[in-house]
Structure 1
Amino acid sequence: MAAIAGGEDSTRERICAAALTCVARWGIAKTTLEDVAKEAGCGRATIYRTFRGGKAEVLAAVVTTESDRFRRAVDGAVGAAGNDLEDVVVAGVVAAARFLDGHTALRFLLAHEPDAVLPWVTFRGLRPLFDAVGQYAHPHLARFLPDPEQRARAVEWLARVVLTYVLNPADGVDLTDEADARHLLRTFVLPGITPRTQEPSHVLHQR
């Protein structure tokens, strides 16, 4: 049974990877299950056995897979950042920006099918997005920001910074560059989320 389950997982992963490649190449609207099957090296019947909901279910699985990859990338960077709030925030923002900036499928959709992405990252789509980010960001920030409301506000500000960069890149600001990100966050964001009894690390180091 374990071997069968492992085989099913492998098939799912292969199909999801193939679908992601196709979306990065043609977009969502033009990607067909025939394209995905060819890229995955399997037949359409295999896709329908694995994803009974067809294309919609495949795409939903891709979103879940990529969301998990994003979370792992950010978690790994933040976990290695140490015990300084500024370092943790910078590491998380840089990791998020690098993942999104280097995501070929996302960049294609933003350029050619923005309607497939923008509803999820603007207006009414923002609250569910902030809630989702908060689920894995709150544990990392809790040791620095014990107040839940302050922590939620910090998560929202940081998410907005990353989204603004991804959707509207600004000349002279590169959040994938640690020095640029640190300067931006230290200047405009950290003063608003640092507890009043706790000065930013760079101020303490200057004394």
Structure 2
Amino acid sequence: MLNYSIIENSLNIKLECLSKQSLEYKDLISNTLKEQKTTQVDKKQAIAKLHALLENQNLECIHGGKVILKSNKGKTFKDDGVPIMLESDLLNSSIVACPNTIAGVSVPCTKVVNVKGSLSQKKVNNEYVILQELISACKTDKGFALKVSFTPTKFKFDHSFDPKEGLGEQSKNQIELKEPIIRL
């Protein structure tokens, strides 16, 4: 009886807890075990492998304007000879042929001004990598999002997030939106 466990029924004897203290202790142990299992599942769900953006990919503003990608700091890391894009490589990149108009007036997106929501959590060459799955968190000078034609790459980065919020919510929390200003 010395090493008997109530939870595991190690002696195949069913014992009943009658004291209030014993019942509370039994509940505490069973709840702790349930929480540990739940925490392990949450940790598994909270890490995603996201793909790096490459220099040759088709990146556009939501109107169809093409972002000119040129990798400078990411040149040393290549996927089939194509360098990856780092934070400073995408920031201030030009956008050409954006057909955006407001009330008949041409208001094209001209450059990328915010990339905070699309960054990896690990640095490469002392800079963060741009992740394809989070690219919609990037903003143009007119406040519009970017879109990419997804292509799997050899460079995958672990990205943890709160499973209750999801990837998209976390990216939104990292950027500060400002009211757009239109001058006519």
TM-based fold match above 0.5? no
Q: How high is the TM-score relative to the length of structure 1?
A: 0.19
Q: How high is the TM-score relative to the length of structure 2?
A: 0.21
| Larger CA Rg, structure 1 vs 2 | 2
